[in-house]
């Protein structure tokens, strides 16, 4: 989701999963040194956004690339910002993503960042708004998945896997642990260096009662070298994995 994806669209993690994790006692492996990865600086992001918006207003030659970058940067800014500012940035990201979808519907970037920015807005709106937004978010992400499942370090599989994990099951919503497992296993296969792919897969495995496999994935988080957005979130993933490994 600050995980991409935040990707945590809904605040609906079930208590039974937490209880099962609490009974596990695992040693914490030594954390590998992080690979060099850009640290996202809010001031730098806002400066780049201002430059891109100025360029977008002056010429059409680089319009598509500007829209893609703006959709991504506003989502990243939303993930990094305080709760009071998140909705404003996700709304701007949604605006540019929708513009890209309208102008270039064949490009996966519009569908992908539209789904993520809508997810960010849904999270800020609470569980009810999140549940109402799920069908549209899933539809946009499935369009991106069909075009290129490996985009953004297997982002389409990662996001869909997390949605199926977070949401309640039918008839309330689309939640399905088997579907979550399928997408997240594919995400790890396509982008094994990504920390969030392993973290999300570990949580799905733990929720399914597959503790040994879940532990293995948590250990992979601690040695992963990439995050889809920036270095801060790589460290957050590692800290989340350590907390789960330390659960008694």
**Is the separation of the CB atoms in 184 and 204 below 8 Å?**
yes
Question: Coil, strand, or helix at residue 194?
Answer: strand
Do 196 and 247 lie in one domain? The reply is: yes
Do 201 and 108 lie in one domain? The reply is: no
- Tell me whether residue 115 is exposed, middle or buried, using C-beta atoms within 10 angstroms of its C-beta: 0 to 12, 13 to 18, 19 or more: buried
Do 75 and 107 lie in one domain? The reply is: yes
Looking at 114, 148, 182, the residue that finishes a domain is 148
Q: Is residue 33 part of a domain?
A: no
- Tell me: pLDDT of 19 over 60: no
Do 111 and 191 lie in one domain? The reply is: no
Do 182 and 105 lie in one domain? The reply is: no
- Tell me: pLDDT of 22 over 70: no
Report the CATH number that the domain containing residue 217 is assigned in CATH. 1.25.40
Nearest to 141 by CA among 241, 11, 234, 4: 4
**Is the separation of the CB atoms in 127 and 10 below 8 Å?**
yes
- Tell me: pLDDT of 161 over 50: yes
Task: Indicate the pTM of the whole model.
Answer: 0.83
**Is the separation of the CB atoms in 115 and 144 below 8 Å?**
yes
- Tell me whether residue 129 is exposed, middle or buried, using C-beta atoms within 10 angstroms of its C-beta: 0 to 12, 13 to 18, 19 or more: middle
Domain hosting residue 223, numbered range? 172-248
For 67, 115, 160, the CA distances from 142, given in Å and listed in that order, are 20, 10, 8
Do 176 and 123 lie in one domain? The reply is: no
Query: Mean pLDDT across the stretch 180-196?
Result: 98
Q: Could you give the count of Cα atoms lying within 13 Å of 149 in the half-sphere of its Cβ?
A: 14
Structure tokens at 239: 């800290």
Q: What is the pLDDT of residue 43?
A: 93
Q: Is residue 106 part of a domain?
A: yes
How does residue 139 score in pLDDT terms, banded at 50, 70 and 90? very high
Query: Mean pLDDT across the stretch 123-139?
Result: 85
Query: Mean pLDDT across the stretch 106-123?
Result: 96
Looking at 98, 133, 148, the residue that finishes a domain is 148
Structure tokens at 232: 């801060």
- Tell me: pLDDT of 16 over 80: no
Query: Mean pLDDT across the stretch 52-59?
Result: 89
Q: Is residue 159 part of a domain?
A: no
Q: Is residue 12 part of a domain?
A: no
Query: Mean pLDDT across the stretch 197-208?
Result: 98
Do 140 and 179 lie in one domain? The reply is: no
Q: Is residue 76 part of a domain?
A: yes
Number of compact structural domains in the chain: 2
Report the CATH number that the domain containing residue 47 is assigned in CATH. 1.25.40.10
Do 140 and 230 lie in one domain? The reply is: no
Question: Coil, strand, or helix at residue 175?
Answer: strand
Do 139 and 62 lie in one domain? The reply is: yes
């Amino acid at each position: 989701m600050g995980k991409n994806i935040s990707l945590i669209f809904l605040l609906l993690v079930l208590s039974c999963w937490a209880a099962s994790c609490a009974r596990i006692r695992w040693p914490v492996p030594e954390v590998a040194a992080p690979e060099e990865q850009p640290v996202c600086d809010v001031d730098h992001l806002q400066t780049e956004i201002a430059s891109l918006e100025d360029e977008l207003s002056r010429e059409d030659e680089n319009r598509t690339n500007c829209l893609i970058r703006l959709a991504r940067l506003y989502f990243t800014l939303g993930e990094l910002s305080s709760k009071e500012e998140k909705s404003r940035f996700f709304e701007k990201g949604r605006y540019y993503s929708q513009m890209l979808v309208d102008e270039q519907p064949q490009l996966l970037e519009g569908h992908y960042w539209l789904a993520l920015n809508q997810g960010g807005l849904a999270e800020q709106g609470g569980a009810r708004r999140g549940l109402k937004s799920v069908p549209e978010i899933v539809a946009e992400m499935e369009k991106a998945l069909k075009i290129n499942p490996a985009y953004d370090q297997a982002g389409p599989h990662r996001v869909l896997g997390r949605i199926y994990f977070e949401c309640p099951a039918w008839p309330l919503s689309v939640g399905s642990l088997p579907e979550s497992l399928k997408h997240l296993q594919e995400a790890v296969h396509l982008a094994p260096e990504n920390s969030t792919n392993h973290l999300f897969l570990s949580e799905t495995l733990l929720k399914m009662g597959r503790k040994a496999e879940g532990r293995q994935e948590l250990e992979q988080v601690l040695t992963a070298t990439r995050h889809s957005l920036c270095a801060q979130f790589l460290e957050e993933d590692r800290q989340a994995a350590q907390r789960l490994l330390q659960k008694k």
